[in-house]
């Protein structure tokens, strides 16, 4: 049985909290009403109005090679998009977007290794459930689809989805990639990632994005921010 979801009113960062708990078992999950030092990808800050949003981290202890960590993120992105609803799409690698392209959720995975292997991955998810930060690029689920959700219920559903989705990475990675592709707004789109512009043609088993530029050259991209240019 997995540990119950722990809910705190305020903390610095749920990812940082779980990183400190070195012996927390697989499936340990922590949800905060508010974070004072929320972390985003690529060293950014994750801001979220207090109250009805999800700031959640989950401890994963998968028996997988380190190269599979990006796939854990892709599986998590699918789980996040699923709890958000049918209309939401994933932008590579794991932002969840509203149909108008505004971001409703993001994922930050942090790994601890032991002897060159994964010890644990802290999978952090932020979802703008009922309120978004005041940025033109952000939106909340409520403002997009008008549905009011029980935040704690949604978080519990999400923990279940993350644990079942990531558990498929070892045994059936192709099914994870298929689910990700089916939810993706990136594949087939004209994109710019750093210096590279072209059409996103696919992702591979290490979660890398492939882009074909207009000179016919293929690029394999491991990390970055995708800008839609079509």
Point out which residues bind ligand BTN (CB under 6 A). Answer: 13-15, 35, 38-41, 44, 46, 55-57, 95, 106-108, 124-126
| Residue 13 vs 166, nearer CB to ligand BTN | 13
C-beta separation of 219 from 208 below 8 A: no
* CA count, 13 A, side-chain hemisphere, 137: 7
CB of 107 to ligand BTN, least distance (A): 6
List the one residue out of 60, 24, 56 whose CA is nearest residue 168.
60
Residue 30 has which token pair?
A: 């922590």
CB nearer to ligand BTN: give 59 or 198. 59
Of 15 and 198, nearer to ligand BTN (C-beta) is 15
Measure the CA–CA gap between 96 and 73, rounded to whole angstroms: 12
Q: Nearest-CB residue to ligand BTN?
A: 106
Cβ count near 21 (within 10 Å) = 13
Q: How far is the CB of 160 from ligand BTN (least distance, A)?
A: 17
Residue whose token pair is 């998968």: 62
Shortest CB 118 distance to ligand BTN, Å? 19
- Alpha-carbon span 8 to 205, nearest angstrom: 36
Residues 42, 57: Cα–Cα separation, whole Å: 17
- What is the smallest separation between the CB atom of 206 and ligand BTN, expressed in angstroms? 20
In the numeric block, the tokens 């790994």 are attached to: 111
Tell me the closest approach of the beta carbon of residue 14 to ligand BTN, in angstroms. 4
Reduced to 3 states (helix: H, G, I; strand: E, B; else coil), residue 111 is strand
Nearer to ligand BTN, 93 or 198 (CB): 93
Q: Please, what is the minimum distance in Å from the beta carbon of residue 91 to ligand BTN?
A: 10
Q: Beta-carbon neighbour count of residue 81 at 10 Å?
A: 25
């Amino acid at each position: 049985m997995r540990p119950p979801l722990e809910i705190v009113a305020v903390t610095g960062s749920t990812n940082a909290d779980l990183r400190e708990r070195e012996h927390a078992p697989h499936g340990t999950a922590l949800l905060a009403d508010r974070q004072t030092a929320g972390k985003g990808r690529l060293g950014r800050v994750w801001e979220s109005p207090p109250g009805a949003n999800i700031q959640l981290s989950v401890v994963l202890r998968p028996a997988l090679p380190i190269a599979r960590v990006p796939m854990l993120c892709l599986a998590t992105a699918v789980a996040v998009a699923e709890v958000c609803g049918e209309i939401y799409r994933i932008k590579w690698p794991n932002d969840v977007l509203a149909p108008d392209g505004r971001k409703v959720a993001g994922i930050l995975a942090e790994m601890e290794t032991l002897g060159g292997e994964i010890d644990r991955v802290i999978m952090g998810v932020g979802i703008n459930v009922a309120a978004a930060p005041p940025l033109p690029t952000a939106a909340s689920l409520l403002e997009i689809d008008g549905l009011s959700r029980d935040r704690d219920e949604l978080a519990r559903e999400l923990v279940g989805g993350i644990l079942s989705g990531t558990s498929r990475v070892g045994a059936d990675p192709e099914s994870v990639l298929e689910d990700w592709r089916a939810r993706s707004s990136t594949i087939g789109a004209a994109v710019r990632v750093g210096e590279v512009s072209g059409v996103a043609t696919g992702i591979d088993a290490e979660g890398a994005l492939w882009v074909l530029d207009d000179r016919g050259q293929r690029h394999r991209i491991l990390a970055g921010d995708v800008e839609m240019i079509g």
